[in-house]
Amino acid sequence: MKVEVDRDLCEANAVCVGIAPGVFELDDDDELRIVRAEVPEGQVELVSQAIDACPRNALFKSR
């Protein structure tokens, strides 16, 4: 599974970072960075929760 962010929608509120900090982080410019676009097996459930929790619907699975 891969995860991507629509930067036009993301407002960098870090909700996803709080849920799956191993996959998402905010960089020094307060931009969301996806640390691991290819989501490790053990993180799939957390990333799915983050996708559902994003208040901007900015996250999506690309496959």
In the complex, which residues of this chain contact ligand SF4 (CB under 6 A)?
A: 5, 10-16, 32, 54, 56, 58-59
Residue 31 or 38: the one with the smaller Cβ distance to ligand SF4 is 31
Residue 12 or 39: the one with the smaller Cβ distance to ligand SF4 is 12
What's at 29, amino acid-wise? D
Least distance from C-beta 44 to ligand SF4, angstroms? Answer: 17
Q: Is the dihedral of CA 40, 21, 27, 29 positive or negative?
A: positive
Least distance from C-beta 41 to ligand SF4, angstroms? Answer: 21
Q: Give the contacts of 34 (CB within 8 A, at least 6 positions apart).
A: 3, 4, 5, 23, 24
